[in-house]
Amino acid sequence: MILVIGSSGQVATELRKHPNVVALGRSEADLTNASACAKEILLRRPAAVINAAAYTAVDKAEDEEDLATLINGVTPGAMARVCAELDIPFLHISTDYVFADDGQTPWVETDPVAPQNAYGRSKLAGEKAVMSAGGNAAILRTSWVFSAHGANFVKTMLRLSKIHKTLNVVDDQIGGPTPAGGIAKALLQMSEAMIAGQAGGIYHYAGEPQVSWADFAKEVFRQS
């Protein structure tokens, strides 16, 4: 059994479709309570743990950095330490926000991190806590996540198009729109490999092609 922390987010919703997954929602694993989340892992003793829950309100994090750091940093670290004690893999989702907001080439795993906002700092805190826990852990950095669930760019564009005749979307930020289903599949494949003995590490996973937000919006409207 693979234990997933989180049940309603985009990636967690996709992970719940797998028959070997047990997903815990906020009532069972509240990331504001690190000890309670760690206790759930101890009680259930799964084959692996995937943390698919997070504080994701990027702008709001500027006013709630302590809360964001607790959810994205402190609690993942506590869960990773329990997994290390049980000798089971721990997988954690991170973000491109751990990097600076400049550059002309795609970020790779070995590039230096330099978060520019509170959300990015909170996610980097989680990366450091997880990787220093001493167990077999993996960080999967991703970006521009979309799906049929939750809040995301695709759904926002479709909603705004119903109330505005024109939309202005930036064209100087480039990324790879990434389906939540693809992230879920990658995490499950990684967890199976780690259960079999493969070491974890830090990995990047993003969709193709690389486009600007404006081009992404145009394609959303074309297909809709």
97, 119, 203, 205: the catalytic one is: 119
What is the rounded distance in angstroms from the CA atom of residue 23 to the CA atom of residue 16? 6
Is 205 among the residues known to form the active site? Answer: no
Residue with tokens 């486009």: 211
Of 101, 139, 99, give the one whose Cα is nearest residue 121: 99
HEC states along 6-17? CCCCHHHHHHCC
What is the rounded distance in angstroms from the CA atom of residue 205 to the CA atom of residue 194? 17
Lateral strand order in the sheet of 90-95: 21-24, 2-5, 48-51, 90-95, 137-142, 201-204
The residues that are catalytic are: 119
